[in-house]
Amino acid sequence: MRRMVTVELTHRGEYFGRLGPFGAAGPYWQSTEGVLAGVDVPAVVLRLVDGRGADGGPCGGEVRYHVEALERPDGREARPMDAGTAAVLGPAEGRSSWARPDGLREALAWAEARVDGAGPVRQVRTWNLSGLFRLPAGTSGGSASGSPDGFPGGAWLKTTTPAFNAAEGEVIALLGSVDATLVPTVIAADAAAGRLLLEAVPGEDCWGPSADTVAEVVPRLVAAQAALAADGRAASAGLRDRTPLALLGQLEVLLDRLPQETDLSAQERVEVARLVAELPDLIEELEECGLPVTLIHGDFHPGNWRAEAGGPAVVLDYADACLGHPALDGLRAREFLTPDAWSHHARVWSEAWRAHAPGSRPGRALELAEPLHHLAYALRYQEFLDHIETSERPYHEGDPAAELRAALACGPARRAS
């Protein structure tokens, strides 16, 4: 699918009109490279203004963006905005710092000051959860490793919102103290501003991973999680508490909001309340499986593993990291794998945990945790919606309800199988 894109172009508070519509390569709304290819001046995409997806979701269709020119456009005259344009480009509650011209310039300047001879920054994506940029240069601490999409060495700048995301630099340091090869190399981090500068990681994201890749990366994460649980550092690291009992309390609060926040029917809401009421018994049995709470990645799917052919994978993207039950990480890859690949993944994960927690029952933990996994994601997606501006809600509008319905599909008969 392609997007038909319209751009509202500004530069340092001046408005330079509307460009498009024009076709942009790539269907995903958060991808910026296809958008910027249609802008005839160095620029960055600030945010989504509005969109109508080809399939009702944030993919393809007709999309409008606010784009900030990094240089004053030649051959264009600044003009007044009409009232409608001024309303959608003006300030809004919940706007990300990197979706504002001043905030994005500050982030880029912060990153460029920490690399040697930085060339033009390439924006990769931007949306309500993060921004990603590539700096094609060596780092101030030496030559950066890797070459993403042909870049010689270089660095990645990631921006996130501290209000609802983990301090990724601290999480990486904690995991890296156990296995330095498991995590990317941090050049600089500013947790308060939600900025992270990483050495570029070579290779490709591991979508559709081979059995060998799964057998290589999954036990390494399990080993690190087991070590951090055993020495107490996971529990004392100040991670957000997403342990099963904490999730139960958060779900009970969410129940009152379901009529306003989701399209669940009255009967579905009754069933969700019944499921939440059953959780104490489920959690008790889950604890009896013998796995420790520990640092969990929070989004441990193959798209967040990156590797060169034949080399060890590096695990990326720790914004969702928290203190929780490791079965939630164990289950995350399921929706990204074929049934056969999932069976292999579950077997590798279970064998790894049995090695680190003798006498445990990780396979049973995966079965029991399945509804809790979906309920946890319903909470996480609602957390996104609670913190982002209204125009960007289409990215996640239906996700809490979808996860709650998935949790309901994990009925008592299935959990007891």
Query: Rounded to whole angstroms, what are the CA distances from 42 to 9, 98, 399?
Result: 11, 17, 35
| Three-state SS at 152 | coil
Those residues whose C-beta lies under 8 Å from the C-beta of residue 249, and which sit 6 or more positions away, are none
Q: Which helix (H) or strand (E) holds 414?
A: helix 412-415
Chain mean pLDDT for the chain: 92
pLDDT for the residue 117: 66
Secondary structure letter of residue 28 according to DSSP: B
Closest to 136 in 3D by CA, of 124, 147, 128:
147
Helices (H), 288-392: 327-332, 339-356, 362-387
The model carries a pTM of: 0.92
Secondary structure letter of residue 31 according to DSSP: B
Helices (H), 258-312: 258-261, 266-287
Evaluate whether 243 touches 323 at the Cβ level (below 8 Å). yes
pLDDT digits (tens, 9 = 90+) for 79-114: 999 999 999 999 999 999 999 999 999 999 999 999
As a whole number of angstroms, the distance between CA 79 and CA 92 comes to: 22
pLDDT digits (tens, 9 = 90+) for 179-211: 999 999 999 999 999 999 999 999 999 999 999
Q: Is the dihedral of CA 79, 96, 317, 27 positive or negative?
A: negative
Domains present along the chain, CATH in parentheses? 3-89 (no CATH), 97-202 (3.30.200.20), 205-415 (3.90.1200.10)
C-alpha angle 292-344-408 in degrees, rounded to nearest 5: 65
Which segments in the chain show pLDDT lower than 50?
139-152, 413-417
